[in-house]
């Protein structure tokens, strides 16, 4: 069942409930709609362990009651490292009910800046399910779902391109939500568009994803590249005793130490880095804080996302209506015990 079909059936069900209720008021109709609305099933595909924002995004996903995380899969190289990061984080969060998939081992270059957090952590010790073929697990999870799946991708997408090659029908049973591209704004709010990393790392894979027949929603640098926490907002997360927040900050401190930027020697004590991927998690369940547009986007061979009228129609977060409200939501969810 595709997303449009699902929505159609949902609203028909609500209308039937309203008709059978006779004299029921609008409040009862609203209650009926709420009762039939289930959590959104989600698969997370991420290059966790490179930039720290993937770890923040995983935390937000776990703390978002609208979302039901069915599977996590590491993407773009360092497969064992990414799987171990997912597994240990899920253990710390008390969510070992979530399976971990080992992604394609593409362009591995050793462990990343969060390796110290893993120390001697062995993937075999994870109490939950571990799929050695994460791509196949992703396909099976989509195809066996009785509801449309949200495929949340916050890294390069070779796993997804391979999944489409093996089973093209996943595009009929899922919608794609991602952190990809630069449409009108580049890094740090620059007016010069950029070849954004998640696209540039593997343009061919991204081209396959951006031409598949699924519904697509993305946050490009235009919106996600502006998100960072400072001041009291950051301190609430930094000082929280909640397991998810504590695991994020532990990883952030190690990541920042390994990064060792001379101009920000104590960055992890005073502010977050740019939290690109958290915006994609938000778009998986809501959009009211963003100005949304739908345009044709083409992925070029050199990793740009160019506006092209005849290209695949993609819905994207073009700018912010209320960036502060999004930051407040992020802080409230992560810091809450």
pLDDT tens readout for residues 219-252 = 999 999 999 999 999 999 999 999 999 999 999 9
Alpha helices, H only, the chain:
3-20, 26-36, 53-62, 79-92, 115-118, 134-144, 158-166, 197-200, 203-209, 221-224, 231-238, 243-259, 267-270, 276-283, 323-335
**Mean pLDDT over residues 298-313, rounded?**
97
Asked if the model's pLDDT at residue 145 lies above 90, the reply is yes
CB half-sphere exposure, 320, CA atoms < 13 A: 17
pLDDT tens readout for residues 28-47 = 333 333 434 689 999 999 99
pLDDT for 111 equals 78
pLDDT for 264 equals 65
Q: Is the pTM of this model over 0.85?
A: yes
Helix axes 276-283, 53-62, angle to 10 degrees: 30
The residue written with tokens 């109490």 in the block is 127
pLDDT tens readout for residues 57-93 = 999 999 999 999 999 999 998 899 999 999 999 999 9
The residue written with tokens 């935390």 in the block is 59
Distance CA 277, CA 44 (A): 11
Q: What percent of the chain has pLDDT over 90?
A: 82
pLDDT for 29 equals 30
265 pLDDT band, cuts 50/70/90, is: low
Distance CA 201, CA 195 (A): 9
Asked if the model's pLDDT at residue 282 lies above 70, the reply is yes
- Report which of 286, 215, 209 is spatially closest to residue 1, judged by C-alpha positions: 215
CB half-sphere exposure, 141, CA atoms < 13 A: 27
């Amino acid at each position: 069942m595709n997303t449009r079909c699902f929505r159609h059936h949902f609203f028909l069900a609500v209308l039937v409930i309203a008709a059978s209720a006779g004299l029921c008021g609008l409040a009862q109709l609203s209650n009926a709609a709420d009762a039939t609305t289930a959590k959104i099933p989600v698969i997370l595909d991420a290059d966790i362990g490179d930039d720290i924002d993937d770890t923040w995004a995983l935390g937000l996903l776990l703390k978002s009651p609208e979302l039901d995380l069915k599977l996590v899969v590491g993407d773009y190289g360092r497969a064992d490292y990414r799987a171990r990061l997912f597994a240990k984080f899920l253990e710390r969060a008390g969510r070992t009910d979530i399976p971990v998939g080992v992604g394609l081992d593409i362009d591995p270059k050793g462990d990343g800046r969060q390796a110290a957090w893993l120390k001697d952590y062995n993937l075999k010790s994870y109490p939950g399910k571990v799929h050695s073929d994460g791509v196949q697990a992703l396909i099976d999870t989509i195809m066996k779902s009785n509801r449309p799946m949200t495929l949340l991708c916050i890294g390069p997408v070779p796993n997804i391109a391979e999944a489409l090659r093996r089973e093209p029908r996943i595009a009929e049973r899922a919608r794609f939500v991602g952190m990809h591209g630069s449409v009108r704004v580049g890094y740090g709010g620059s007016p010069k568009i950029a070849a954004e990393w998640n696209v540039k790392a593997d343009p061919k894979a991204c081209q396959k994803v951006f031409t598949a027949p699924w519904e697509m929603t993305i946050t490009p640098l235009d919106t996600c590249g502006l998100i960072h926490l400072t001041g009291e907002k950051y301190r609430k997360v930094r000082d929280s005793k909640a397991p998810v927040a504590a695991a994020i900050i532990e990883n952030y401190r190690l990541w920042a130490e390994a990064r060792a930027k001379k101009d920000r020697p104590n960055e992890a004590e005073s502010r977050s880095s740019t939290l690109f991927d958290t915006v994609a998690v938000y778009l998986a369940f809501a959009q009211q804080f963003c100005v949304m547009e739908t345009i044709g986007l083409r992925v070029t061979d050199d990793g740009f996302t160019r506006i092209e009228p005849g290209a695949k129609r993609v819905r994207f977060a073009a700018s912010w209506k209320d960036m502060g409200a999004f930051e407040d939501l992020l802080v409230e969810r992560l810091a809450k015990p």
